[in-house]
Amino acid sequence: DAAVEVRDLRKTYKASGKAPAKEALKGISLAIPRGSLYGLLGPNGAGKSTFINILAGLVNKTSGTARIWGIDIDQAPRSARAAIGVVPQELNLDPFFTPRELLDLQAGLYGVPKAERQTERLLEAVGLKDKANAYARTLSGGMRRRLMVAKAMVHAPPVLVLDEPTAGVDVELRQMLWAHVRDLNKAGTTVVLTTHYLEEAQELCDTIAIVNHGQVVACDATENLLRTL
Ligand code: ADP
Ligand code: ADP
């Protein structure tokens, strides 16, 4: 079984006000292998966030099928959702909570029993052990992003999905975030990320799907794909 498998996934946003209806996904089919570090590369408006938001249960697809870790998102939406951790683009953290509190809260939301919580290990994994008791408002942008990654991992999902993890981030911080993503992948997590930076996909991902205008226009192992560009 694949980590994520979608067949002929389509999404049309309804027209509202003056905005016409928008066909954001026009029949996407992909199989993301277990253990891979998989990049969805494409320009703004290509449909990357829509794809991720459908997997996250945040947007309803119009048609097609999607399975996460073998679980159909229509047949068992909660189980499917439990199999992924999602790091959204926005850093939406309560400023007056500490990393340790935020991770404990998130673990509670996901029903992770106290004895099974990995709060300390997660803080360590994202390099925030020293900041475990600092208010989120005092953390740098990079620390907040890493905290968002830890938050998405509290229920130990086999698949981690990151939406534009380094958009608007400086070079140094980008390298650091890449290192953390690589470590998580080496530790066994399947990682799916979206990006509009070719360099990011090239450096980080073993497989790349290029998305444009709601369609997959190319998909291959990174080295093969780069040869054809
Ligand atoms: P649907 O009802 O088809 O599932 P959503 O509930 O996801 O659509 O979207 C509701 C509304 O949010 C859209 O009709 C649109 O007006 C607005 N909207 C949110 N984000 C965007 C965006 N990036 N571009 C255009 N409209 C947006
Ligand atoms: P990307 O993440 O690749 O930038 P998106 O999935 O955000 O692409 O958007 C794909 C297309 O769908 C864009 O044209 C965008 O404006 C439109 N869109 C995204 N969200 C909504 C929404 N809620 N309502 C209407 N249109 C939307």
- CB burial string 206-217: b at 16+ within 10 A, e below: ebbbbbeebebe
Amino acid at site 164 = E
**60 within ligand 1 shell (Cβ under 6 A):** yes
Please tell me the distance between residue 24's alpha carbon and the centre of ligand 2 in angstroms.
6
Q: What is the pLDDT along the chain (229 residues), one digit of tens a residue?
A: 899 999 999 999 999 999 999 999 999 999 999 999 999 999 999 999 999 999 999 999 999 999 999 999 999 999 999 999 999 988 889 999 999 999 999 999 999 999 999 999 999 988 899 999 999 999 998 899 999 999 999 999 999 999 998 887 888 888 988 998 999 999 999 999 999 999 999 999 999 999 999 999 999 999 999 888 7
Q: What is the pLDDT of residue 177?
A: 87
CA 30 to each of CA 14, 184, 217: distance values in angstroms, whole numbers, following the listed order: 25, 22, 11
Smallest CA-to-CA distance from 216 within 62, 75, 38, 28 is with: 28
ipTM: 0.78
Residue 45 main-chain phi, psi, to 5 deg? 90, 0
Q: Give the pLDDT score at 173.
A: 84
Which mutation among 10, 12, 22, 52 tests ligand 2's pocket best, with the greatest number of atoms within 8 A of CB? 22
**HEC-encoded secondary structure of the chain:** CCCEEEEEEEEEECCECCECCEEEEEEEEEEECCCCEEEEECCCCCCHHHHHHHHCCCCCCCEEEEEECCEECCCCHHHHHHCEEEECCCCCCCCCCCHHHHHHHHHHHCCCCHHHCCHHHHHHHCCCHHHCCCCHHHCCHHHHHHHHHHHHCCCCCCEEEEECCCCCCCHHHHHHHHHHHHHHHHCCCEEEEEECCHHHHHHHCCEEEEEECCEEEEEEEHHHHHHHC
CA–CA dist 203, 195 (Å, integer):
12
Q: How remote is the CA of residue 89 from the centroid of ligand 1, in Å?
A: 17
Closest ligand by atom to 28 CA: 2
CA of 138: how far to CAs of 69, 94, 121, in Å?
37, 11, 22
Q: What is the pLDDT of residue 168?
A: 79
- Counting from 1 in the atom list of ligand 1, the atom nearest the Cα of 11 is 3
CA of 14 to the centre of ligand 1 (A): 7
CA 14 to ligand 1: nearest atom = 3
- In angstroms, the CA 4 to CA 17 distance is 35
Ligand nearest to the CA of 25: 2
The sheet that has 37-41: what strands, in order across it? Answer: 84-87, 159-163, 190-195, 37-41, 207-212, 215-221
CA 211 to chain CA mean position, Å: 16
- Which residue reads 């080295």 in tokens? 223
